[in-house]
Amino acid sequence: MPPPCPHLTVVIPAYNEEDRITAMLDEAVDHLSAAAYPSELLVVDDGSTDGTADVVTTYAARRATPRVTLRLLRQVPNGGKGAAVRAGAAAAKGAWVLMADADGATRFAEIDALFAAVDASGADAAVGSRAHLRSRSAKAAADGSGGRGGRDALRALLSWVFHMVVLLLGGVWGIADTQCGFKLYSAAAAVAAFRGQRLTRWAFDVENLYRLQAAGMRVVEVPVAWTEIPGSKMTSLVRVGVWMLADVLRMRWAYATGQWTLPGRQAGVEPRRGVVAAPAHAHQ
């Protein structure tokens, strides 16, 4: 008998994550095995040069369950995180699509908070937010009460600057944290966000949210627990910030001049009107 059609697809972009992805998959499988809905984990190996694909393949054989399936999608060569998530969203089978980072920085149990938010509001998408944590971290660094000092303060400052760039130049309104790698989309919202997405690296999240708002879809922001994981690939916060600014400016210019096309409100992408019943996302 074939596995049930998944209610949720978790898209996990992965580049050289052989040392960290097992812990993230364990947490996801443990949580989803107790859920009242079938789900699938879709790992998109973004041209890794290590053993990420082998680790995922071995894991899938070892931890296969009737209600949680695991698939591996290989993208060669490396195309960037945005390209990996776009490919995963296109291959997703679920009625809902969650983007989750392979490092496990956001506790997987936060998926319940995102589902609760869309259930309560009727939103088409829910994005995890670390803004409350950054504010607390920056305050701790400033008054000496905790944190990691200069790095926390610099991260908080650059996050604020990028938020202003997103607000004033990126055209995305009402979202304090566009970059958290933990976002939930209805199937229709995933189509609006990813089909036609052009940015493939640092600022692809901004483009996705811009496309959702252009399509008239509702997005709710949800505070989530987040921990910085050792081994982050964003080695230079300042350099990454410059690249992200360049991506945002390129995006707005391309859409403003008609080089890129936004999803239309009447082009087959309609806002989600109904509210999913809460029991569909409850634990067994």
| d(C-alpha 160, C-alpha 83), whole Å | 26
Would you list the domain boundaries of the chain? 8-257
Instruction: Measure the CA–CA gap between 269 and 165, rounded to whole angstroms.
Output: 28
pLDDT tens, position by position, for the chain (284 residues)? 566 789 999 999 999 999 999 999 999 999 999 999 999 999 999 999 999 999 999 999 998 788 999 999 999 999 999 999 999 999 999 999 999 999 999 999 999 999 999 999 999 999 999 877 654 444 444 455 444 445 566 666 777 777 788 878 888 988 989 989 999 999 999 999 999 999 999 899 999 999 999 999 999 999 999 887 765 555 566 787 788 889 999 999 999 999 999 998 634 444 443 333 333 444 33
Q: What is the pLDDT of residue 265?
A: 66
pTM of the model: 0.85
The arrangement of strands across the sheet holding 8-14 comes to 68-75, 39-46, 8-14, 96-100, 182-186, 125-129, 219-223
Note the pLDDT of residue 162.
75
- Give me the pLDDT at residue 88, please: 98
Residue type, 230: P
Tens of pLDDT along 208-231? 999 999 999 999 999 999 887 765
Please give the Cα distance from 77 to 30 (Å, whole number): 32
Q: Which residues contact 198 (CB under 8 A, 6 or more apart)?
A: 207, 251, 254, 260
Say what the pLDDT of residue 152 is.
63
Say how far apart CA 173 and CA 132 lie, in whole Å.
18
Asked if the 8-257 domain carries CATH number 3.30.70.80, the reply is: no
pLDDT of residue 268: 44
The residue among 10, 225, 210, 198 whose CA lies nearest residue 106 is 225
Q: What's the confidence (pLDDT) of residue 226?
A: 84
